[in-house]
Amino acid sequence: MTSHRPMTTKRLVIDAFLCAILFISQVSLSWLPNVELVSLFLILYTLVFGRHVWIILYVFVLLEGLFWGIGMWWFSYLYVWALIPASVFLLYKKHCPSPVSAALLAGSFGMLFGLFSSLPAVLTGGLSAAFVWWTAGIPYDILHGMGNFIVSLILFKPLYQLLTALKQHQL
């Protein structure tokens, strides 16, 4: 993971490019139920670009709200997506994870996504509403976890190499 660097125009353009990749990948796969690359990209961006992941992540969340509309789901995205970089910072301080380790993290996140996303329902309808929200989505969470695991297992290594090369040659 990288140390803190001052924001330059070049760094801002790279962050915008990485955010665009995140957003385009999410929108382009939206027709598939709970299949996404966002989890994998957030793991990779955290490993390769360190703290810049926060800028990329929150611009992405803002774009999601502007594109899909702001609803209760959007407020959960303010903290749910942040769990991935936070987990990467905690788990992989000194080393890069193996593709299997990254796939397990992404898969676990997918399986728990509905649970994490149900928390705003506690405020609007109480614990029973949050429980119903979460349990109604369990089949999708299973698909989400399986999709994240498979995609991460296949794409982690080549994308990590690509992003590392981008960082070495462009920054």
Helix H, strand E, coil C: the string for 16-55 is: HHHHHHHHHHHHHCCCCCCCCCHHHHHHHHHHHHCCHHHH
Inform me whether the pLDDT recorded for 112 exceeds 90: yes
Q: What percent of the chain has pLDDT over 90?
A: 83
pLDDT of residue 40: 98
Inform me whether the pLDDT recorded for 169 exceeds 90: no
pLDDT of residue 51: 94
Note the pLDDT tens digit of each residue in 119-158: 999 999 999 999 999 999 999 999 999 999 999 999 999 9
**In terms of Cα–Cα distance, which of 34, 27, 43, 45 is closest to 147?**
34
Inform me whether the pLDDT recorded for 93 exceeds 90: no
Contact (Cβ atoms closer than 8 angstroms) between residue 68 and residue 23? no
Take residue 2 and report the two structure tokens written for it.
């990288």
Taken in order 149, 155, 156, 157, is the CA torsion positive or negative? Answer: positive
pLDDT of residue 4: 57
> Please, which pLDDT band fits residue 114 given cuts at 50, 70 and 90?
very high
